[in-house]
Structure 1
């Protein structure tokens, strides 16, 4: 088990009844909880959802608090401060007064800072410090009314060659407050992407998906992400810009292997984080295996940090890779499958 789960087990005598595990790690914690605990899991990570589902756990995937009543909740500290505020507010709107909300996380992951975010809802107490982690308790004194989703959205405008886009980003989504440098470098080249069925792998707040839809109303966009908050943000961005709903298909994925087949193009500012950890597996698999999801003559477009070895990985699979630009620390990479002359 990860250290956070070990610390939870150290305090198991405090746990009782219907306990909601929020952002729980994919380990064996469930099998080590006492028998008087009826545990459920809330996750917005599709990889984690599939892990728990395969173990027949009571798991909910999405941005909404699971249905039902809970006696306690344990939050495993997420990376984003705004996301923790969202979780705490939603739990405070559902749990009864005097219910306990526990918080566990690594010291290097900001658990002490996170514990201060609980103060508006009740008194906090640090119960344990071990395995480079801390375990806090807050007894709920101030319940609240749940806010509508729109109140959690951060909005900003992106200028494009085809007019402005209004972006909607929910808590915890990549580049929540402003356009990231990589996508800014990428945008001028998206007009060169072939039209048709296009997958946006790692769609985030939907900047790339919305721009491709805006460029050509005949484009059908498959917005793919592991994060339910990103998928919901992309949906909101499409609605905010009055884009045709039929252009968009939202798809939760574990990786590029879940993409549709016979795509005309795959476009990506690929993800490289899982929580606070750096993880290049999803983006490296994109370079290595995306070819099988494309039609003959299909295109791969990626923007990535210049220090990454993606051009080499792409060339091994596609036999070609063109660097369209190299600026502000990012490269825009292009490759295509061999055109079948019979088509």
Structure 2
């Protein structure tokens, strides 16, 4: 739907796309390219599942390689990340058109309000529960740019838009407290984020290897800065399709359950299925989840032993052991 908004702006709103290379910041594969020529675009994407789809359709990059004649910014959920993305687009297009495209539930209205007193809008259109607006690149928004990573109040490196950037989230803290001190062997943290939970896992001396698997490159780069341990290895990958070099003795995870603003319990259920596949027959899983999420049935289907080992009114820590193998 996002690229339909661009096409609508070209057809009815006076938007004219220049000839030359255009950067697409945060474009989603499901939206496609609309009327754009794949040879004339660079897709700037740091989320691994999106990147892998885009690299089959067009030129996918994790950072811009400008200058470009124009940029199209697809707004993410986080306001600070949206502003930073617009600032990075301006840097990549020093003398061209900046097009901002976003859904209402991704904050396009506040961004429009913030832009109006600072840049001269050349036009905007509304379509499909969102807006598309455009203006000429200028340095008026230089203060929107954020460092790639910075230290939070607890001294850990985080990046704009990453989960729980201000501090370790309470669910991860609960999980870390519940982990046995006797963990040993080869482990993975699926959806490792910026590395706080991984660091807690590595406090167990019996852990010989820890694979940090994270789909968002900016979060993984923070994890590299936060986790200084020779036992750690870092993987920019979708946790659901990642394959370890050998099967694992244990997995610890605080899986996501949102895509955009919509809660999807199936995402966490898929993490459980993946964990069972990656573990040795004797392997164990420790995970934390919001109390209301329906994960027990999937755990009982994929593991022989399942129990809740800690919890609060908001969260539950679940332990599962001995993954079930499909009968041949």
Q: Which range, TM-score by smaller chain?
A: 0.7 to 0.9
Over 3 Å counting, the alpha-carbon distance change for 1:227 and 1:281 in structure 2 is farther
CA–CA distance in structure 2, aligned partners of residues 119 and 51 of structure 1: 35
- Structure 1 position 121, deviation (Å): 6.5
Asked if 2 retains the 8 angstrom alpha-carbon contact of 1:22 and 1:73, the reply is: yes
Over 3 Å counting, the alpha-carbon distance change for 1:187 and 1:120 in structure 2 is farther
- Structure 1 position 171, deviation (Å): 0.6
Match of 2:9 among 8, 11, 27: 11
Residues 185-196 of structure 1: matches in 2 within 5 Å? 185-192=174-181, 194-196=183-185
2:135 aligned with 1:132, yes or no? Answer: no
**Unpaired segments ≥5 residues, structure 1:** 158-165
Match of 2:235 in 1: 251
Match of 2:139 among 135, 139, 142: 142
CA–CA distance in structure 2, aligned partners of residues 268 and 114 of structure 1: 34
Over 3 Å counting, the alpha-carbon distance change for 1:137 and 1:206 in structure 2 is same
TM-score by length of 1: 0.84
Asked if 2 retains the 8 angstrom alpha-carbon contact of 1:156 and 1:168, the reply is: no
Give CA-to-partner distance per residue, 1:48-76, whole Å, 9 cap, x none: 11111233x11113xxx322321110111
Match of 2:300 in 1: 315
Over 3 Å counting, the alpha-carbon distance change for 1:100 and 1:116 in structure 2 is farther
- Structure 1 position 217, deviation (Å): 7.8
2:271 aligned with 1:286, yes or no? Answer: yes
Match of 2:64 in 1: 66
Q: Which runs of 4+ in 1 moved over 6 A?
A: 145-148
Q: Count matched residues.
A: 317
Match of 1:92 in 2: 90
Higher mean C-alpha displacement, 255-264 vs 308-317: 255-264
Give CA-to-partner distance per residue, 1:127-152, whole Å, 9 cap, x none: 101221111112122175997946x4
Give CA-to-partner distance per residue, 1:73-97, whole Å, 9 cap, x none: 0111111112123222322333224
Residues 15-94 of structure 1: matches in 2 within 5 Å? 15-16=17-18, 17-27=20-30, 29-30=32-33, 32-33=35-36, 38-55=40-57, 57-61=58-62, 65-94=63-92
Asked if 1 retains the 8 angstrom alpha-carbon contact of 2:213 and 2:238, the reply is: no
Match of 1:115 in 2: 112
Classify the secondary structure of the residue corresponding to 2:30: coil
Match of 1:262 in 2: 247
Asked if 1 retains the 8 angstrom alpha-carbon contact of 2:182 and 2:206, the reply is: no
Give CA-to-partner distance per residue, 1:249-284, whole Å, 9 cap, x none: 111222333141411111100011223333333321
Over 3 Å counting, the alpha-carbon distance change for 1:87 and 1:148 in structure 2 is closer
2:306 aligned with 1:303, yes or no? Answer: no
CA–CA distance in structure 1, aligned partners of residues 84 and 25 of structure 2: 12
Asked if 2 retains the 8 angstrom alpha-carbon contact of 1:299 and 1:334, the reply is: yes
Over 3 Å counting, the alpha-carbon distance change for 1:222 and 1:8 in structure 2 is same
Classify the secondary structure of the residue corresponding to 1:215: coil
State the Cα RMSD in Å.
Answer: 2.6
Asked if 2 retains the 8 angstrom alpha-carbon contact of 1:263 and 1:298, the reply is: yes
Over 3 Å counting, the alpha-carbon distance change for 1:280 and 1:125 in structure 2 is farther
Over 3 Å counting, the alpha-carbon distance change for 1:73 and 1:219 in structure 2 is same
2:202 aligned with 1:213, yes or no? Answer: yes
Match of 1:105 in 2: 102
